[in-house]
Amino acid sequence: MPNALYDALFKPHQNNSAAFLRTPDQADYSYQQFLALAAQIANTLVAAGTQPGDRVAVQVHKSAQALALYAACVQCGAVYLPLNTAYTATEVEYFVNDAEPGVVVCNGDAHDALAPIAQRVGAKVLTLNADGSGTLSDAAATTLTTFATVDRTADDLAAILYTSGTTGRSKGAMMSHKNLLSNAQTLVDYWQFSESDVLLHALPIYHTHGLFVASNVTLLAGASMIYLPAFNVDQMIEQLPASTSMMGVPTFYTRLLDDARFDRQRSAHMRLFISGSAPLLAETHEAFEARTGHRILERYGMTETNMNTSNPYDGERRAGTVGFPLPGVSLKITDPETGAPVARGEVGMLEVSGPNVFRGYWRMPEKTAEDLRENGYLITGDLGRMDEDGYVHIVGRNKDLVISGGFNIYPKEIELVLDEQPGVLESAVIGAPHPDFGEGVVALLVASDAIDLEQIKATVAGCLAKFKQPKLYFVIDELPRNTMGKVQKNKLRDAHANAFKPG
């Protein structure tokens, strides 16, 4: 019995001495070297007691070793569970309790905070630092550079990626070998990736975009990556002439455009710029074309489904749209109340089905049943319409999601913290247009007593990741509500639409 994902993404490269990862500040890795490292990590995970199907929770900085840890999990049949590096120990505790991993891999400086949390679920803790050092690497260095790949079926899980829940509880999206592989195959073909591609990779690898879209596509095509630890405009501009392609969130594009060094000549060698994870403003699309001559290719996806739609490679890349359903992906636009398809051009709920659609939420059958219909269609929570030429336009989100700098933020989670603060009667958290982050988090507080905003900010900083912390606070008299008692966030958004505008 084979291991579909390993056999397609990794195994073909076992004797490939071509470059895979180019890390400007550290050593480069050929495919062969990368796979030897992955095999050593797989040996280490198995020595730590990892069995097929066990979860391996990973909260580490981006490094070659961190990506090899993903490959190692695939090879030894474990379920890779990456966590945002910004999460606090309190936040990580929820994921560890929910997923019950056999191994937790964390940064050395988080060891003492996470060890007792891991211990309570019987997980072993290994460390991996940004420079690749740590107890994981120490142990791996003593093992063989080969590993007998563990068999898996196409429906076995390869990864669990947590998405935040609108009710404040995060949900673990279960991704099978088939889900990941089918999407990578579609994207390599659709975006015409080949082994001559060099992808400029500045995305985080705990999220589907940087992990599956970017890395799986590169691996399947046998291409290479210039692998940066994070987005840094100087490094991006420096590395562009050596790259052929880039995947980014809209913020990457606005930041590049803000720098006068970024010009036509710098991007002359580029074949393709791709954007996703949040809406790319049509004006950014146009400014980018005016500056570079390139039309950004915008696509739409989500953790639960990988990629669903994309603008065409050869045809017209239409600004403000996310293009067409990808081959193999079936998209319906339905009435959110009845589930019946709406007429072409009308706004409705986007629903998708295909081999890319996940296997449900980890240990949450009732949530899975709410979102995933029996006929295989996932109710995405995104509202959109299809124009007369078949291009999909995303017009809003049914959920209350705020997307800031490409990160999804669910207001409820922040509101729960704010509501508990002294002097706060109730709160509402919204996203307001932000020139750099797309949206910025704004908190509206209703007071029951004297409010100490500095104290509240300090408490919030102690328990929520930085990207979730409100950038602005306003104390208001009352929250607008409809007759059903629901807070009318659209009214709050309108009232604070200019909150981040200068002047």
Chain contacts with ligand AMP (rule: CB under 6 A) = 163, 208, 276-279, 298, 300-303, 322, 380-382, 394, 397, 408
At its nearest, how many Å lie between ligand AMP and the CB of residue 238? Answer: 27
46-13-30 Cα angle (round to 5): 90
Least Cβ distance, residue 342 to ligand AMP (angstroms): 18
Q: What is the largest CA-CA distance in the chain?
A: 68
Closest among 50, 54, 86 to 466, alpha carbons compared: 86
CA distances from 101 to 78, 117, 125, 440 (A): 10, 11, 10, 33
Measured torsion, CA atoms of residues 413, 418, 419, 425, in degrees rounded to the nearest 10? -140
What's the min distance (Å) between Cβ of 322 and ligand AMP?
5
Nearer to ligand AMP, 149 or 277 (CB): 277
Q: Which is nearer to ligand AMP, 79 or 278 (CB)?
A: 278
DSSP state of 467: G
Nearest Cα to Cα of residue 160 among 67, 58, 47, 48: 58
User: Quick one: 50 or 305, whose CB is closer to ligand AMP?
Assistant: 305
| Min CB(383)–ligand AMP separation in Å | 9
Identify which of residues 23 and 408 has a Cβ nearer to ligand AMP in the complex. 408
Minimum CB–partner distance for residue 281 and ligand AMP (Å)? 10
Min dist CB 161 to ligand AMP, Å, is 8
Quick one: 54 or 298, whose CB is closer to ligand AMP? 298
Which amino acid, residue 303? T
Dig out the tokens for 383 from the structure: 């509202």
C-beta of 52 vs 381, nearer to ligand AMP: 381
> Based on the number of CB atoms within 10 Å of its own CB, is 139 exposed (0-12), middle (13-18) or buried (19 or more)?
middle
**Shortest distance, CB of residue 206 to ligand AMP, whole angstroms?**
11
Q: In what order do the strands lie in the sheet with 297-302?
A: 29-30, 19-22, 224-227, 198-201, 245-248, 272-275, 297-302, 306-310, 324-325
Question: Cβ closer to ligand AMP: 282 or 458?
Answer: 282
Question: Shortest distance, CB of residue 434 to ligand AMP, whole angstroms?
Answer: 15
Q: How far is the CB of 408 from ligand AMP (least distance, A)?
A: 4
Q: Which residue has the tokens 């120990």?
A: 89
Per the structure block, which two tokens stand in for 168?
Answer: 């404040």
288 three-state secondary structure: helix
Shortest CB 293 distance to ligand AMP, Å:
22
The secondary structure of 194-208, three-state, reads CCCCEEEECCCCCCH
Element (H, E) at 289: helix 282-292
Helix (H) or strand (E) holding 395: strand 392-397
Nearer to ligand AMP, 136 or 211 (CB): 211
> Is the Cβ–Cβ distance between 348 and 334 less than 8 Å?
yes
Instruction: Give the nearest distance from C-beta 129 to ligand AMP in angstroms.
Output: 26
CA distances from 392 to 16, 317, 328, 371 (A): 40, 12, 16, 21
DSSP 39-72: HHHHHHHHHTT--TT-EEEEE----HHHHHHHHH
Shortest spacing between CB 53 and ligand AMP, in angstroms: 24
Tell me which amino acid residue 199 is.
L
The minimum distance between CB 275 and ligand AMP, in angstroms, equals 7
In terms of Cα–Cα distance, which of 443, 493, 441 is closest to 468? 441
Question: Whose Cβ is closer to ligand AMP: residue 269's or residue 466's?
Answer: 466
Choice between 224 and 380, CB closer to ligand AMP: 380
Q: How far apart are CA 435 and CA 242, in angstroms?
A: 29
Angle subtended by helix axes 453-463 and 411-419, to nearest 10: 130
Is the CB of 53 or the CB of 315 nearer to ligand AMP? 315
Nearer to ligand AMP, 251 or 380 (CB): 380
Which CB atom, from 29 or from 410, has the smaller least distance to ligand AMP? 410
